[in-house]
Amino acid sequence: MKKTINFILGVAALLVAVACGSDRSEILKVYNWSDYIGEDVISDFEAWYKEQTGESIQVVYQTFDINETMLSKIEKGHEDYDVVCPSDYIIERMLNNGLLLPLDLKALPDSINYIEQNASPYIQKMFREINPEIDANDYSVAYMWGTTGIIYNPKYVTDEEAATWNVMRNPKFKDKLLVKDAARDVYGPVLIYLKQQELKDSLVTLQELMSDSSDESLAAVESFLREAKDNVLGWEADFGKDQMTKELGVVSINWSGDAVWAIEEAAELGVELRYVVPEEGSTVWFDGWVIPKYAHNVKAATYFIDFMCRKDIAIRNMDGTGYVSANGAYEVLESQIDEEYDPINLSYFFGEGADSICVNPTLYPDLAVIERCALEHDWGEDTDKLIEMWARVKGDNASSFTYVIIIAAAAIIAFAIYRAAASRKKKASRKAGRK
Ligand code: SPD
């Protein structure tokens, strides 16, 4: 429902902008994940852009919940979004397929070039690893990052049970498991779980597993997921955190930022939730701003990305979403320090002085967690095999809510047909009466 409303609001904003005679150079079309921006950041950007350039801009803001939905709109639909926010492996795919425009940082005055001022060497290095032939830093700027792990309710799930991906097929959690409807983000961790012995014996590396699209691995993951399916309460794109706070689900395969949000929200309702990155390992991910090749307003897009890198804006976006900013400025970390937490090692991100920082470990992963995580990679053509496997696994598992929607839609269509037929009949009989 939220998605439909978002879509309608986006289209309405666009129609209003066009009706008011705004030309395309005064419109910036942003396509971002839902629940992924701080309050009033968009309107503050519009005002800031006017101050900096003397030009008006109106942001038309639309959201998505699944990387592949966004990708398909650009790859197949050639939609003219000016800025979008894909994840790492999708950035890689867009780079490989020539779908991105290079960033022109020279278009920004030096004094307000926050992209360069606040860049994180750690994230820049990860970007460089995306594609050894094309430096992704020339095409994208990281926004948020985190891990994939397990949110669980300790009233029903022990720490030991949650410390392994095998919790997904633990029969104790029948109808209590929420799985993110994000095939790659589930496939990676399950494969890591299945290959844990080979990893321990150094027969394979985590990084190699992230590119493993072999039929054998796909079949092994499929069979694991089929066993887990009995536990699945829902394959969710955005309702998982709510269902956890309401204690409808007790285990949720999710991203760290959703975990921060859910843990805080649940605490207000007196429900305790925890987050763990299982011992076997997992994926570390980041989402980054890019300008697709079908963009119309490259100048405003560049300013928008830059604005998102301003320290105060990064902090507002973090506070508003639960996710951790990719901003490398120490002030951003400082804003999150809280002596209530045990110190963790963030030297990999903020340099040597940051090896003992009291910060929420769900937000910023400790070095020990990062060491057992790897970045996903684009599979190219093999992606279709994964999508097919995912559809097969979810297949007949449509939720009762889905059936209600289908029945309601069928009833509305039947009613509309009946009304049209009745009105035709009335007209015909009126016509006959006139004769
Ligand atoms: N509600 C915003 C969610 C954004 C999370 N992105 C994570 C992508 C991992 N591939």
Banded pLDDT at 69 (limits 50, 70, 90): very high
**One domain for residues 361 and 321:** no
- The 10s digit of each residue's pLDDT in 156-202 is 999 999 999 999 999 999 999 999 999 999 999 999 999 999 999 99
Banded pLDDT at 66 (limits 50, 70, 90): very high
Is the model's pLDDT at 143 over the cut of 70?
yes
**Pairing state between β 232-236 and 140-152:** unpaired
Residue 390 lies in a domain: yes
- Atom 6 in ligand 1: residue holding the nearest Cα: 287
**One domain for residues 292 and 154:** no
pLDDT, position 130? 86
Q: Cα 193 to the chain's mean position, in Å?
A: 23
Residue to probe by mutation, ligand 1, list 34, 186, 255, 260, most atoms within 8 Å of CB: 255
- Atom 3 in ligand 1: residue holding the nearest Cα: 33
**One domain for residues 267 and 319:** no
As a dihedral over the C-alpha atoms of residue 118, residue 123, residue 124, residue 129, rounded to 10 degrees, the angle is -170
- The 10s digit of each residue's pLDDT in 231-273 is 999 999 988 989 999 999 999 999 999 999 999 999 999 999 9
- The 10s digit of each residue's pLDDT in 384-413 is 999 999 999 999 545 444 544 555 566 666
User: In angstroms, what is the span from residue 238 Cα to ligand 1's centroid?
Assistant: 10
Please compute the mean of the pLDDT values over residues 12-35 and round it to a whole number.
Answer: 76
Distance CA 373, CA 358 (A): 22
Banded pLDDT at 56 (limits 50, 70, 90): very high
**One domain for residues 63 and 111:** yes
Distance CA 374, CA 195 (A): 14
pLDDT, position 339? 96
Residue 96 lies in a domain: yes
**One domain for residues 29 and 171:** no
User: In angstroms, what is the span from residue 76 Cα to ligand 1's centroid?
Assistant: 22
Interhelix angle 215-228/183-194, rounded to 10 degrees, is 100
pLDDT, position 397? 46
User: In angstroms, what is the span from residue 33 Cα to ligand 1's centroid?
Assistant: 7
Instruction: Let me know: does 161 contact 172? Beta carbons within 8 Å.
Output: yes
Residue 105 lies in a domain: yes
226 versus 239: which is more confidently predicted?
A: 226
Instruction: Let me know: does 276 contact 57? Beta carbons within 8 Å.
Output: no
- The 10s digit of each residue's pLDDT in 25-52 is 899 999 999 999 999 999 999 999 999 9
Please compute the mean of the pLDDT values over residues 201-215 and round it to a whole number.
Answer: 96
Burial of 250 from C-beta contacts in 10 A (0-12 / 13-18 / 19+)? buried
**One domain for residues 310 and 321:** yes
Residue to probe by mutation, ligand 1, list 31, 32, 69, 87, most atoms within 8 Å of CB: 87
User: In angstroms, what is the span from residue 251 Cα to ligand 1's centroid?
Assistant: 18
Q: Cα 243 to the chain's mean position, in Å?
A: 18
**One domain for residues 131 and 117:** yes
Q: What is the pTM of this model?
A: 0.86
User: In angstroms, what is the span from residue 34 Cα to ligand 1's centroid?
Assistant: 9
User: In angstroms, what is the span from residue 164 Cα to ligand 1's centroid?
Assistant: 22
pLDDT, position 161? 98
User: In angstroms, what is the span from residue 204 Cα to ligand 1's centroid?
Assistant: 27
Q: Ligand 1: residues within 6 Å at CB?
A: 33-36, 87, 185, 255, 285, 287
148 versus 239: which is more confidently predicted?
A: 148
Residue to probe by mutation, ligand 1, list 84, 144, 242, 324, most atoms within 8 Å of CB: 144
pLDDT, position 1? 45
Residue 407 lies in a domain: no
Please compute the mean of the pLDDT values over residues 412-432 and round it to a whole number.
Answer: 64
Residue whose C-alpha is closest to residue 89's, from 225, 253, 235, 211: 211
Print the domain residue range for 265: 146-281+380-397
Please compute the mean of the pLDDT values over residues 84-103 and round it to a whole number.
Answer: 96
**One domain for residues 242 and 214:** yes
**One domain for residues 158 and 108:** no
Residue whose C-alpha is closest to residue 182's, from 404, 372, 383: 383
Residue 410 lies in a domain: no
Distance CA 147, CA 371 (A): 12
Banded pLDDT at 17 (limits 50, 70, 90): low
- The 10s digit of each residue's pLDDT in 122-134 is 999 999 988 888 9
> CA distances (Å), 144 to each of 218, 295, 341, in order?
29, 22, 22
CATH code assigned at 184: 3.40.190.10
Residue 234 lies in a domain: yes
CB atoms within 10 A of CB 212: 19
Is the model's pLDDT at 144 over the cut of 70?
yes
**One domain for residues 384 and 259:** yes
Is the model's pLDDT at 222 over the cut of 50?
yes
**One domain for residues 128 and 216:** no
Residue whose C-alpha is closest to residue 323's, from 264, 272, 253: 264
Banded pLDDT at 430 (limits 50, 70, 90): low
Banded pLDDT at 22 (limits 50, 70, 90): low
pLDDT, position 309? 98
- Count how many domains the chain has: 3
338 φψ region: left (φ > 0), alpha (ψ -120 to 50), beta (else): beta
Q: How many residues does the chain have?
A: 435
- Atom 5 in ligand 1: residue holding the nearest Cα: 255
pLDDT, position 230? 95
User: In angstroms, what is the span from residue 379 Cα to ligand 1's centroid?
Assistant: 19
Is the model's pLDDT at 16 over the cut of 90?
no
Residue 89 lies in a domain: yes
- The 10s digit of each residue's pLDDT in 293-352 is 999 999 999 999 999 999 999 999 999 999 999 999 999 999 999 999 999 999 999 988
pLDDT, position 405? 52
User: In angstroms, what is the span from residue 255 Cα to ligand 1's centroid?
Assistant: 7
Residue 429 lies in a domain: no
Residue to probe by mutation, ligand 1, list 3, 32, 33, 289, most atoms within 8 Å of CB: 33
**One domain for residues 317 and 266:** no
